[in-house]
Structure 1
Amino acid sequence: MTAEIHSLVGAYVLDAVDDLERAAVERHLRECGECRAETAEWRETASRLADGAWSVPPPGLRDSVLAAVATTRQAPVLVTQRKARRSHRSRWVAAAAAVVAAAGTGTAVFVVQEQRVRDERTVAETVRDQEAEVRGVLAAPDVVLRDQVLADGGKVTVAYSRLRDSGVLMMSADAAPAGGRVFQLWTVRADVPVSEGVLAVGETTVVKVLHGMSSASVVGVSVEPAGGSAAPTRMVAGVKTM
């Protein structure tokens, strides 16, 4: 629910939420300084874009702009809420810039609201799907929990269910790797390491759903250069699942 409230900040600023969502966001803003700052940023952006925003959009503008947005590569949904919020804000700024370049500020609010609906729906659905998968694994009758201390401090826990053929990796490190290096997640399948995701520089926590656990003998974490490696170079944890 917290991730969904974070994702509604932009819609709240544009008054594109219902009464229940507005009450939830306003309650959250009283407790979250980061979201209050983000709300202020959105209001400043919206005020700049809103000059003359109520003019009628020229014919075909909506379809042409949304088509351009649809063909623009989107950043994947992040494993941490902070990165998700940064990625979400960047998509808004990019969409707004495209609108201003194409047609000036006259139709900015119209297109930004349209893109907001699409982005919010995608983020909310992704969060709900991941939460459902995590709950399903943890509630499975055959769930197995195994954990290991990270070499540099912290812990990684793996919960997996053979019945669901899925697992959940939960990591909380005491500190980020030094020198701009990052954590990378792995499974070992048929003695071959397979990357399961790379954290961003400075990130120390992650909850990752893993599929096809019936073929994974080890779930591990390594420290790699930023952007990750094709094969693990320095393992800091390895949890056996077979």
Structure 2
Amino acid sequence: MRPDVHALVGAYVLDAVDDLERAAFERHLRECADCRAEVDEFREAAARLADTAWSVPPPALRANILDAITTTRQDPAVPVRAVTPKRRFHLVAAAAAVVAAAGVGAAVYAIQDQRVRQERAVAEAARASEARVRAILAAPDLQVREQTLTSGGRVTVASSKLTDAGVIMLAATSAPGEGRVYQLWTIHDDDPASAGALGEGQAATVRIVQGLPASSAVGVTIENAPGATTPTTPLDALVQL
């Protein structure tokens, strides 16, 4: 069965649709402002992380994503927001786009005789990260929460107690000013811990956080590069878990 046309957003951005799906989705885009906005967001996030470098995703990526969706059991008792197959597809596709773009962006620094080995290592790391993200997002107890950023954009937090892990996906409207970076925080019993800072000029990321379900909240701040040891207040976003 083909996915609902709305669910083709991620695959379309990744160029992982066939000719019939592409034609149908492009017709749909002319009438659906929401899908046009999502396409623009996904493309912008991937472009920023890739630093103007981009390549076609692996041929198996779309099949793997669709397979993960069709084999995922849905939990009707999720209390926060129902994680439907369409929504799960969007999360997986968006995360895969950013993970793939990050791998490509890192690969451009490979030089001379080390280039092949470095590119292979980057590709393997990207595949491992993608697989881990897909495994977390396919968990039957997945809970998803979103919050808008004061500076513009949004942060999405998906967590699973069964995997004892979560995924933080940041998609800001734009990068902070020169010398400033976005930084992610996990908060447990009012004690914040850094979950990593983005690089200068970056406005999107996907971070896997082991043990995330034990946290009470996830925060986003804007800090002086390369990051801070304690969060600057007020936070740009706070996602209660």
TM-score when normalising by structure 1: 0.55
Residues 4-59 of structure 1: CA deviation (Å, up to 9, x unaligned): xxxxxxxxxxxxxxxxxxxxxxxxxxxx9x559xxxxxxxxxxxxxxxxxxxxxxx
Partner of 1:233: 232
- Displacement of 1:179 in angstroms is 4.3
Query: 1:153/1:126 Cα in 2 relative to 1: closer, same or farther (>3 Å)?
Result: same
Q: Comparing both chains, which one has the higher relative contact order based on Cα–Cα distances under 8 Å and sequence gaps of 6 or more?
A: 2
The 5-angstrom pairing of residues 199-218 of structure 1 reads 199-218=198-217
**What does residue range 65-144 of structure 1 map to in structure 2 within 5 Å?**
84-85=103-104, 87-92=106-111, 96=112, 112=113, 115-144=114-143
| Alpha-carbon distance in structure 2 between the residues aligned to 1:82 and 1:128 | 12
Structure 1 distance, partners of 2:117, 2:199, is: 25
Identity %: 43
Q: Is the 8 A contact 1:80 1:205 kept in 2?
A: no
The two structures have a TM-score, normalised by structure 2, of: 0.55
Over aligned residue pairs, what C-alpha RMSD do you find? 2.7
Q: Radius of gyration: which is bigger?
A: 1
SS at match of 2:177: coil
Q: Deviations over 1:158-209 (max 9, x none)?
A: 0110110111111111122234311001111343211111111121111111
CA shift at 1:130, angstroms? 1.0
Which residue pairs with 2:181 in the alignment? 182
Q: Report SS of the residue matched to 2:144.
A: strand
For structure 1, which runs of at least 5 residues remain unmatched after alignment? 4-31, 37-78, 97-111
The runs of 4+ residues in structure 1 deviating greater than 3 Å are 79-91
Q: Is the 8 A contact 2:178 2:200 kept in 1?
A: no
TM-aligned CA distance change 1:222 to 1:35, over 3 Å: closer
SS of 1:158 mapped into structure 2:
strand
For the Cα contact (< 8 Å) 2:110–2:119, is it kept in 1?
no
Displacement of 1:223 in angstroms is: 0.4
1:176, 1:35 → 2: CA distance? 18
Q: Which residue in the other structure is 2:190 paired with? A: 191
Q: Tell whether 2:198 aligns with 1:222.
A: no
Q: Specify the code of the residue in structure 2 equivalent to 1:213.
A: L
Partner Cα separation in structure 1 for residue 224 and residue 176 of structure 2: 10
Quote the residue 1:23 is aligned against: none
Query: Could you tell me how far apart the structure 2 residues matched to 1:88 and 1:127 are?
Result: 11
Aligned length: 150
Long gaps (5+) in structure 2? 1-10, 15-49, 55-97
Contact 1:185 1:221 in 2 (8 A): yes
